[in-house]
């Protein structure tokens, strides 16, 4: 990892340092994804079958898992894995059930009743990456809140060959519409619908650059579907002082570096000694990883930043706005009030990022690539929409009439004003009768 001293940099160099590595081939990806979306939107299943044959190597066109296939996949999952999934399910469900909103109803003034309600998004699509690391945990993170929210239709897509554990986790969450397809074509099929694949209103889940671009394009088209959040490659920032265990810090950095060669990990510390010890640990632990090649590529674009003190470390972290933020300091909770921009924060030596990825209860679907400045971690509210209700009595309208008509006059909206005055005329007539 490259090591730099924060105080040796001018403001422009600091901004450049915290800029994520550019995602390669972005222009080519955008054009190709656009073509895929256009064909699936216009040709439906015909185009989808061609893409699944070309990209997913599925040639029989049978992408929807049958009830029998789901049952068989569930039976192949080991008891130990089922127990682990059940444990994670309980914690995730507990945390997300606690996020249920309470309807709000109040009188803003006499006779003026205002209410805030929520209801579930009707149709949602879940995308679960497969490939070299089938993300069973992602099924739980996406499907559990959909179930708690009460979404009427839940569709799940994952690239073939779909892992038995993914099917089991989906079944446990009540998802029965499971498609074995991946990539941009899966996002397009869910966003626009085909004769085979149900159209959804909102799409959730991480993916590679093709999936991310397909989600972006679909969300910008009124015919498409909304998405959970903007995202890029996975990342972690660790704030550590000289009390931190360098082996723990290195392990946490590597746990994100192994996600992909475009992942980025950052260590921010006031301790040069700790930075040196972490680098030694990185090299030692890297040799023990099955995905060492992937992690090594990620480390090549990763950073160690030497700062003055922990308050400055918090400033750097807020500027970077990491997906995951780990705080390994003597008093980690004392820094919490200084930390503003992060997808999820992990406090203390005994809180590795891995627990959030799998089973602590929080959601591991998080904004990346700096979007944590404005976007939030996935939660129950993302599967719901809010709407307001208002109800006025005649007296309530009388109390607001002058304010509304005065403002409507100022904006030159006569019909707005008349919608009030015509009612006021009736109220006055009734009062005089």
Query: Which residues are catalytic, by number?
Result: 323-324
Rounded to 5°, the CA angle 368-273-269 comes to: 30
From residue 60, alpha-carbon distances to 32, 53, 66, 147 in Å are 24, 8, 14, 31
Continuous segment of H or E residues that includes residue 15: helix 11-17
Q: Return the structure tokens found at 313.
A: 């470390």
Helix, strand, or coil (residue 277): helix
CA dist., res. 92 & res. 309, Å (int): 35
CA dist., res. 237 & res. 293, Å (int): 21
Residues in contact with 44: Cβ distance below 8 Å, sequence separation at least 6, in sequence order: 193, 194, 195
Q: How many residues does the chain have?
A: 433
Residues in contact with 347: Cβ distance below 8 Å, sequence separation at least 6, in sequence order: 327, 332, 333, 336
Which DSSP string corresponds to 179-241?
EE--HHHHHHHHHH--SSSPP-SEEE----HHHHHHHHHHHTSTTS-EES----S-EEEEEE-
């Amino acid at each position: 990892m490259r090591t730099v001293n924060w105080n040796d940099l001018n403001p422009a160099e600091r901004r450049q340092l915290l800029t994520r590595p550019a995602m390669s081939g972005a222009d080519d990806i955008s054009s190709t994804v656009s073509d895929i979306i256009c064909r699936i939107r216009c040709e439906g299943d015909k185009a989808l079958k061609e893409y699944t044959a070309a990209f997913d190597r599925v040639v029989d066109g049978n992408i929807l898992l049958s009830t029998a296939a789901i049952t068989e996949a569930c039976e192949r999952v080991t008891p130990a894995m089922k127990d682990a999934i059940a444990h994670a399910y309980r914690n995730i469900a507990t945390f997300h059930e606690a996020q249920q909103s309470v309807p709000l109803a109040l009188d803003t003034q006499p006779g003026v009743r205002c209410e805030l309600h929520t209801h579930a998004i009707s149709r949602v699509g879940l995308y679960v990456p497969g490939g070299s690391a089938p993300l069973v945990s992602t099924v739980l993170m996406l499907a559990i809140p959909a179930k708690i929210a009460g979404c009427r239709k839940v569709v799940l897509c994952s690239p073939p060959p779909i892992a038995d554990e993914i099917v089991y986790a989906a079944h446990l969450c009540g998802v029965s519409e499971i498609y074995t397809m991946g990539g941009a074509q899966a996002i397009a099929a869910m966003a626009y619908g085909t004769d085979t694949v149900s159209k959804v209103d909102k799409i959730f889940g991480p993916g590679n650059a093709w999936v991310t671009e397909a989600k972006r394009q679909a969300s910008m088209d009124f015919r498409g579907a909304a998405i959970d959040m903007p995202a890029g490659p996975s990342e972690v920032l660790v704030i550590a002082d000289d009390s931190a265990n360098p082996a723990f810090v290195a392990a946490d950095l590597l746990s994100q570096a192994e996600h992909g060669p475009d992942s980025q990990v950052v260590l921010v510390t006031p301790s040069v000694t700790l930075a040196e010890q972490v680098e030694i640990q990185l090299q030692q632990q890297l040799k023990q990883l099955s995905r060492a090649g992937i992690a090594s590529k990620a480390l090549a674009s990763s950073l160690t930043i030497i700062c003055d003190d922990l308050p400055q470390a918090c400033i750097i972290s807020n500027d970077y706005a990491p997906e995951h933020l780990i705080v390994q300091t003597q008093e980690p909770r004392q820094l919490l009030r200084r930390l503003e921009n992060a997808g999820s924060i992990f406090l203390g030596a005994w809180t590795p990022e891995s627990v959030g990825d799998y089973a602590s209860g929080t959601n591991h679907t998080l904004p990346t690539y700096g979007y944590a400045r404005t976007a939030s971690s996935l939660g129950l509210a993302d599967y719901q929409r809010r709407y307001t209700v208002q109800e006025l009595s005649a007296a309530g309208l009388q109390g607001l009439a002058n304010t509304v008509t005065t403002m409507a006059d100022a904006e030159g909206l006569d019909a707005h004003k008349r919608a009030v005055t015509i009612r006021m005329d009736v109220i006055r007539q009734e009062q005089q009768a």
